[in-house]
């Protein structure tokens, strides 16, 4: 058995899903629970200044969802095939989007009224998501995916006390099927035992003292593992693409906005895989009509042979598996997932800087994006790429590299300068991905005038 050491706060929060999964797997683990008073000292010792962090035989991992996916696989709670894994990943990311609305309620962005946020959490967001979750669980025999328990059910059930606490009531009270699912997870013997014996902390008093609020604010990220360098062998990848052309290709239809954004990584991956796809692009003025036709009111949406999928990262991971851009084993996949989620956290800071309606707030967010957040993330990305032979993971191109590179034009256009200008290793990585023949071709032919600011300006 590997040695697991989990470091989180003395509460439930997003660390609890990892505890649930370790317990489910019958794994002993060191359950380090940090107090808020120690946090300022501990923070700089974590990969990206946040928790949870899980050490597996001394190797440091972060990003709660990446860790859950890894443990899910270790303990046979993953899907039976890659399409089922896509469905699980999609739901996990959607549950995480749901959770983030709670986080934003506790920590409203500057100037936003907390009670208004709570009101819209309760009256809009909770019913919006839970109705859809309930529908899905009903259609799937009482579980989120495939009529049996998977790690996404455990993830959902483990979050309940935390979400109830923020909302101030039993969030599942009007959703019997979700309640039943949660009870089923709680009744699994190892989990039942854990619930009986786990430390009971995170009281309201503690919460008000700032501990839980700090925790909920955290978007878990990080790095700091040892690397397994491999020679770069891009021939293998090109020959794979040629080989695929002989196979029966599924029909792909991508629906996104008429810009790069998070849809572009999906386009990059499809192009890399030599896949034709319908590239449906919407203008902003079409959006109100289109929004209700999507699963959760957002894009991108990818149809694969008519089955509708959403969540950009879940889709990228699925395509990467199709086109052999994943890791060589599950630990390498964990490293790829971790950096992809961290790049996504970085991306979200750009979005938060771009949208506040108040100009002064927007200017302040933009200023801290450029002077704090970018210099925080980019040197860490640069260091990781340097340590890994010019790629994010394992000394060869993986979908994490594609995800990062495809976002560049979008992020550059938000701040209006080359975000990688001071980061030669990241720049070189970008050039390498741009030079892959299928990507080079795509860059030369993709619709132009597609940058984020122009798009929002209606150009």
Ligand X SMILES: N[C@@H](CCC(=O)N[C@@H](CS)C(=O)NCC(=O)O)C(=O)O
- Residue 181 CA to residue 84 CA, distance in Å, equals 19
CB of 263 to ligand X, least distance (A): 7
CB of 129 to ligand X, least distance (A): 12
Between the CA of residue 259 and those of 62, 406, 408, what are the distances in Å?
31, 12, 13
Binding mask 24-53 for ligand X (x = CB under 6 A): ------------------------------
Footprint (CB under 6 A) of ligand X, residues 367-406: none
Minimum CB distance to ligand X smaller for 8 or for 102: 102
Kindly give the pairing relationship between strand 4-9 and strand 29-34: parallel
Say how many CA atoms lie within 13 Å of 236 toward its Cβ.
9
Residue 261 near ligand X by CB under 6 A: yes
Minimum CB distance to ligand X smaller for 311 or for 419: 311
Residue 431 token pair? 């050039």
Footprint (CB under 6 A) of ligand X, residues 299-318: 299-300, 310-313
Residue 164 token pair? 């109830």
Bridge partners, residue 30, by sequence: 5
Contact (Cβ atoms closer than 8 angstroms) between residue 434 and residue 424: no
Binding mask 121-140 for ligand X (x = CB under 6 A): --------------------
CB of 319 to ligand X, least distance (A): 13
CB of 100 to ligand X, least distance (A): 9
Minimum CB distance to ligand X smaller for 230 or for 294: 294
Cα 80 to chain centroid distance, Å, stands at 21
Minimum CB distance to ligand X smaller for 288 or for 449: 288
- Residue 22 CA to residue 6 CA, distance in Å, equals 10
φ, ψ (nearest 5 deg) of residue 349? -65, -35
CB of 294 to ligand X, least distance (A): 8
Contact (Cβ atoms closer than 8 angstroms) between residue 403 and residue 411: no
Q: Is the peptide bond before 300 cis (omega within 30 degrees of 0)?
A: yes
Binding mask 51-90 for ligand X (x = CB under 6 A): ----------------------------------------
Residue 291 near ligand X by CB under 6 A: yes
Q: Which of 298, 308, 354, 370 binds ligand X (CB under 6 A)?
A: 298
Minimum CB distance to ligand X smaller for 134 or for 262: 262
List, as one string, the DSSP characters of 407-444: HHHHHHHHHTS-TTTT-HHHHHHHHHHHHSHHHHHHHH
Residue 97 near ligand X by CB under 6 A: yes
CB of 339 to ligand X, least distance (A): 16
Residue 152 near ligand X by CB under 6 A: no
Nearest to 330 by CA among 236, 393, 405: 393
CB of 128 to ligand X, least distance (A): 12
Contact (Cβ atoms closer than 8 angstroms) between residue 308 and residue 298: no
Footprint (CB under 6 A) of ligand X, residues 212-231: none
Minimum CB distance to ligand X smaller for 19 or for 347: 347
Residue 307 DSSP code: E
Strand spans (E) along 285-390 = 301-304, 307-310
Residues 6+ apart with CB under 8 A from 232: 389, 390, 391, 395, 396, 397
**Residue holding tokens 């983030």?**
100
Minimum CB distance to ligand X smaller for 152 or for 262: 262
Residue 413 near ligand X by CB under 6 A: no
Residue 309 token pair? 């999928």
Minimum CB distance to ligand X smaller for 62 or for 255: 255
Q: How many residues bind ligand X (CB under 6 A)?
A: 13
Residue 259 near ligand X by CB under 6 A: no
- Residue 207 CA to residue 280 CA, distance in Å, equals 46
CB of 344 to ligand X, least distance (A): 7
- Residue 255 CA to residue 392 CA, distance in Å, equals 28
- Residue 323 CA to residue 277 CA, distance in Å, equals 15
Residue 139 token pair? 């259609």
CB of 28 to ligand X, least distance (A): 34
Stretch that binds ligand X, among 210-218, 294-302, 397-405, 424-432 (CB under 6 A): 294-302
CB of 55 to ligand X, least distance (A): 28
Minimum CB distance to ligand X smaller for 97 or for 206: 97
Q: Which of 93, 279, 333, 412 binds ligand X (CB under 6 A)?
A: 93
Residue 243 near ligand X by CB under 6 A: no
Q: Which of 145, 262, 266, 269 binds ligand X (CB under 6 A)?
A: 262
Residue 200 DSSP code: -
Contact (Cβ atoms closer than 8 angstroms) between residue 72 and residue 289: no
CB of 442 to ligand X, least distance (A): 19
Minimum CB distance to ligand X smaller for 261 or for 395: 261
SS3 82: helix
Interacting residue ranges for ligand X, rule: CB under 6 A = 93, 97, 261-262, 291, 297-300, 310-313
């Amino acid at each position: 058995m590997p040695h697991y050491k989990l470091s989180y706060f003395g509460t439930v929060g997003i660390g609890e899903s990892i505890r649930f999964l370790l317990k489910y797997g019958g794994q002993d683990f060191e359950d380090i629970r940090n107090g808020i008073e120690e946090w300022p000292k501990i923070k700089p010792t974590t990969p990206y200044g946040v928790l949870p962090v899980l050490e597996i035989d001394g190797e440091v991992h972060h990003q709660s969802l990446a860790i859950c996916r890894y443990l899910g696989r270790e303990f046979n709670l993953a899907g039976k095939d890659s399409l089922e894994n896509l469905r699980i990943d999609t739901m996990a990311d959607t549950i995480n989007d749901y959770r983030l609305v709670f986080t934003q309620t506790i920590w409203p962005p500057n100037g936003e009224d907390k009670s208004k946020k709570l009101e819209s959490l309760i009256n809009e967001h909770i019913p919006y998501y839970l109705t859809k979750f309930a529908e899905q669980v009903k259609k799937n025999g009482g579980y989120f995916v495939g009529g049996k328990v998977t790690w996404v059910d455990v993830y959902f059930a483990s979050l309940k006390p935390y979400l109830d606490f923020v909302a101030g009531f039993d969030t599942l009270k009007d959703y019997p099927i979700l309640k039943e699912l949660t009870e089923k997870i709680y009744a699994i013997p190892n989990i039942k035992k854990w619930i009986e014996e786990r430390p009971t902390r995170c009281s309201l008093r503690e919460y008000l003292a700032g501990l839980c609020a700090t925790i909920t604010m955290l978007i878990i990220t990080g790095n700091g593992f040892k690397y397994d360098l491999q020679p770069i062998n891009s021939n293998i990848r090109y020959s794979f693409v040629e080989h695929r052309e002989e196979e029966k290709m599924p029909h792909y239809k991508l629906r996104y906005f008429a810009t790069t954004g998070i849809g572009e990584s999906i386009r990059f991956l499809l192009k890399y895989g030599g896949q034709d796809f319908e590239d449906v692009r919407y203008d902003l003025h079409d959006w109100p009509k289109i929004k209700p036709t999507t699963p959760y009111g957002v894009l991108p949406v990818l149809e694969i042979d008519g089955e509708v999928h959403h969540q950009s990262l879940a889709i990228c991971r699925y395509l990467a598996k199709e086109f052999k851009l994943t890791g060589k084993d599950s630990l390498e996949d964990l490293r790829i997932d971790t950096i992809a989620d961290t790049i996504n956290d970085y991306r979200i800071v750009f979005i938060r800087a771009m949208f506040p309606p108040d100009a002064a707030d927007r200017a302040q967010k933009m200023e801290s994006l450029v002077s704090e957040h970018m210099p925080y993330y980019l040197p860490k990305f640069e260091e990781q790429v340097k340590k890994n032979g010019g790629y994010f993971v394992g000394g060869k191109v993986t979908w994490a590299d594609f995800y990062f590179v495809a976002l560049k034009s979008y992020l550059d256009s938000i701040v209006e300068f080359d975000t990688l200008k001071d980061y030669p290793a990241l720049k070189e990585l970008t050039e390498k991905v741009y030079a892959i023949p299928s990507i080079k071709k795509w860059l030369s032919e993709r619709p132009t005038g597609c940058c984020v600011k122009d798009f929002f300006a209606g150009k």
